[in-house]
Every structure is written in C-alpha cells, then in structure tokens.
C-alpha cells in the first residue's frame, strides 16, 4: 500500500487569455506522504492561495494531474463526479479565522459536516467525543463560540477539520490571529495530529519561526515549487 497522501504532477494555473494571460503556478511536481506536517511559504502574491485551493480541489488547474491517495481526482480535467463530495470526505480546512457558526454550540459545529456526509448519529457522536478528548476540549461541547477564547476556537476549528476523517488538512495561516505562545501551541498540536492520526497537514504561514516544527517546506520560487526537507524539526 502506498504511503503517498497527495501527488502533484506538472500542475499549472494561469488566469486570463492572450496578452492578458498570467501564469501563477507552472509545472509543479511533488508528493507528500501520510503523516507529514508541511508548510507552504512564499511572498505575498506569489500563488500560495492559488496552490492551496488547487490542492483542496476548490480551484480547477489549467493543466496537470492531482492524485489523492490512490485516486486520480484531476488529469487535465476533473475525474470525480462531485468535487464537493470529494472535499467533504477527503479534505479538511482550517482558516485564519475559525468561521464557526455563531448560533450553533461547539458540538453542533463539529458534527455538522459528518452529518452532511450521511454518517449515523452514533458513529459521529463517538468520533467527536474522541476528538474532543484528544484536544482536551470535551468540557466545552455545549459552549457557544462567543464564550471561548481565540485559541480555544481555533482548537475547535481543528476538531471540525478532523471530524470527517480527512486524508489531508489544508490550513491557511491558522496562527496569524494568535500571539506567539498560542501560535506555537497550535502548531505543536497540528504536528501531533499528523503523527498520531496519520493525516497530512499543509500549512500556509508567513512566520518563519514555525518552520522548524515542519517536516517539509514548500517554497514557490518563480512560479515553481521547491521542496525542502527540514532536517532538525522540533
């Protein structure tokens, strides 16, 4: 059985046509293994969000191939019937803001996606209980998002991303709104999740002090992707 979580082959993305055509990502080739914690860094406007949205099957590439696990999901065209279902079942998202639904309590926020996937209440309840135990947040199940701190809400956002048991979690600057101490705490938690849950996490960050916690760093340089292995990760 392959240990590859996601494989990218000759992936490119351009916007516009003719003289107004702008290529953002060109000929990207890399693969990431299950259980790896990976950061994505680049200057503003270099294509971080574009690449992340292609990896998350939100934005259609111009050309190339994307394989998630053993399934080819894109090969110069979408190879899946329903890309929304693909995202719901295989990909988790964490954003800079937690985007929890304010009128639902924490438990309801986390259970929403698995319920949309048609999973049984018993299975979802047992899974969410385990996740909240794992994140040491079980006592907050009936709380409302407004009753929690920013760091606590970001933990709940992580729990929500884990709730559908994804192969990959894409985290778009999840620590940007946190102070240094809480940012390190969240990153340490994300790394722990990759190891213990065998999930691949790709984290966009501008904070280079967080890179030593990662296994690999993806750099966007002149529209190309350079992969650097972190030798002395924390």
The helix-helix angle for 150-162 and 121-134 (nearest 10°) equals: 140
Residues 6+ apart with CB under 8 A from 164: 88, 89, 92, 113, 114, 117
Predicted local confidence at residue 176, as pLDDT = 82
Query: Which is it for the CA torsion 72, 124, 172, 134, positive or negative?
Result: negative
Structure tokens at 152: 């606590």
Residues of the chain with pLDDT under 50: none
CATH class of 4-229: alpha beta
Predicted local confidence at residue 117, as pLDDT = 82
Tell me, yes or no, if the pTM score tops 0.75.
yes
Structure tokens at 73: 């999901």
Q: Cα–Cα distance between 155 and 133 in angstroms, integer? A: 12
Length of the chain: 234
């Amino acid at each position: 059985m392959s240990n590859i979580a996601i494989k990218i082959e000759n992936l490119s993305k351009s916007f516009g046509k003719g003289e107004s055509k702008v290529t953002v990502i060109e000929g990207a080739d890399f693969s990431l293994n299950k259980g790896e914690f990976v950061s994505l860094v680049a200057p503003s406007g270099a294509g971080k969000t574009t690449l992340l949205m292609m990896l998350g099957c939100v934005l259609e590439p111009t050309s190339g191939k994307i394989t998630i696990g053993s399934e080819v999901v894109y090969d110069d065209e979408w190879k899946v019937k329903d890309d929304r279902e693909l995202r719901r079942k295989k990909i988790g998202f964490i954003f800079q803001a937690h985007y929890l639904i304010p009128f639902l309590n924490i438990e309801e926020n986390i259970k929403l996606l698995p319920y949309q996937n048609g999973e049984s209440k018993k299975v979802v309840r047992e899974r969410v209980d385990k996740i909240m135990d794992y994140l040491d947040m079980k006592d907050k199940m009936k709380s409302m998002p407004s009753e929690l701190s920013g760091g606590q809400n970001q933990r709940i956002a992580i729990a929500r991303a884990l709730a559908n048991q994804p192969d990959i979690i894409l985290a778009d600057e999840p620590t940007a709104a946190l102070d240094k101490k809480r940012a390190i705490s969240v990153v340490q938690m994300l790394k722990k999740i990759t190891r213990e849950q065998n999930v691949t996490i790709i984290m966009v960050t501008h904070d280079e002090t967080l890179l030593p916690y990662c296994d690999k760093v993806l750099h966007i340089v002149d529209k190309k992707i350079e992969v650097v292995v972190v030798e002395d990760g924390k």
